[in-house]
Amino acid sequence: MRMYDVITAKKRGLELTDDQIAYVVKGFTAGEIPDYQMSALLMAICLKGLNMRETTTLTLEMAKSGDMLDLSAIRGIKADKHSTGGVGDKTTLIVAPIVASLGIPVAKMSGRGLGHTGGTIDKLESIPGFRTTIPADEFIRNVNEMKLAVAGQSANLAPADKKMYALRDVTATVDNISLIASSIMSKKLASGANVIVLDVKTGSGAFMKTFEDSAALAEAMVTIGNNCGRRTYAIITDMNQVLGRYVGNWLEVREAIDILKGQGDEELRLVSITLASYMILGCGVAASLDEARTLAENAITSGAAFAKFREFVERQSGDVRFIDDPASMTAADFEVPVYAPCDGFISEINAEEVGMASLLLGGGREKKEDSVDPLVGLRVDLKVGDKVKAGQLLGVLYADDEARIEAAKERFAGAFRYTGESVNAVPPIYAYVDENGVHKV
């Protein structure tokens, strides 16, 4: 088999066979296929496309290119969730303890943030002492004993994806639904869960800016997951404004604690409850989505979800004094209010710009090797559709470096758009996706 022939076939719009796809993934991962030939194939795929069989095969081969986590030692049906990335997205910190408190094993590998999107591992590491690197036997023991463990992606998961993405990033071949779906799902399949729930963001702060693109990606990933024997669901959620009220690692942990205690932002609560409900449904603990939702809500009102979060933090060596009393954490040095310049209605809050403001304060990474300040970030006091008066508080920046404040303040203030006409509020959830397709709310 020759790479030249594979490139030619796709250039002509022909379907690639399973053997051809396996040959490409194995050869490229092993360094036997040069970058220039792989780049040519990726461009041909972007121009001619992959059908669902090709996409599923590509995903499986990428998943098999590295470690396939063996979770068979964990008793029961394992659940996992994945978000395509957003601003203020702390749902894992809420969803995982809700689900685990109901006896469902949640064995989750999470990543760090890059750019304007925060990472779950960064948020957890803002808790003093919390260990995100734990041995495999301890990881499995924790899930068996308390149904929850979250660790950094130390395993060699889907190395083919890492190599392919590096090429896609510099050859203008990122924005292809099949390639995006296979990239995400290859790591989810390698992570070993039986049930996968996907939170696909859409809007200004998301990778996919339009509902149509988000729906296409969600449907492709759900189909891949189900084709590979994993019960898979997706919800398409809004990222045209911050999810919740806070952006920043420790600030988001505090907000997650509020939700687990039955307080906090209602839209964040709704998205978290919905994600948890699909995990509960997929694992067979509830017979219907309504029943699953009731179980998730009861886990919060009874205190079981917060108790599970506290147990989880303690088990991974986090200092639970700050979970019991979040206000005791040292605050950032500067609190900088930002005010509205005019009367009107909020017509837009560009979530990406809000995220960039937090990054400028030191709460995110421009490069993978950058460090993050766990205490900095911001609070957003208004949402799209809110009526505002000149001089009204838009939010607050929390900073440790005075030199960073002005640039972040300008970026944050510029994220807001105003109009003289009333504006409808933005719905937090647009659609659900299952094996039968996309269902708008």
Measured CA to CA, the distance from residue 159 to residue 162 in angstroms comes to 5
Q: How far apart are CA 268 and CA 89, in angstroms?
A: 9
Exposure of 104 in the CB half-sphere (CA atoms within 13 A): 33
How do 416-419 and 344-349 pair as beta strands?
Answer: antiparallel
The verdict on whether 82 is a catalytic residue reads: yes
Q: Which of 39, 48, 88, 125 is nearest to 244 (CA)?
A: 88
**Cα 57 from chain centroid (whole Å):** 24
Beta strands in 239-385 (DSSP E): 246-247, 334-339, 344-349, 377-380
Cβ density class 258-285: b for 16+ within 10 Å, e for less: bbbeeebbebbbebbbbbbbbbbbbbeb
Phi-psi sector, 186: left (phi>0), alpha (psi -120 to 50), beta? alpha
Q: Which tokens hold the place of 319? A: 């200092």
Please tell me the distance from the alpha carbon of residue 338 to that of residue 352, in angstroms, as a whole number: 18
Query: 161, 199, 238, 258: which one is catalytic?
Result: 161
Q: Please tell me which residue in 64, 147, 187, 308 is annotated as part of the active site.
A: 187
Residue the block writes with tokens 């309504």: 290
Of 10, 64, 78, 82, which one is the catalytic site residue? 82
Residue 122 CB coordination number (10 Å)? 24
Looking at 83, 101, 183, 358, which residue is catalytic?
183
Active site residue 161: yes
Q: Which two tokens stand for residue 374?
A: 């766990």
- C-alpha distances out from residue 9 to 6, 123, 144, 320, Å: 5, 46, 48, 58
Query: Which among 168, 230, 269, 308 is annotated as catalytic?
Result: 168
Closest CA to 122 of 135, 107, 137, 112: 112
- Residues classed as catalytic: 82, 161, 168, 183, 187
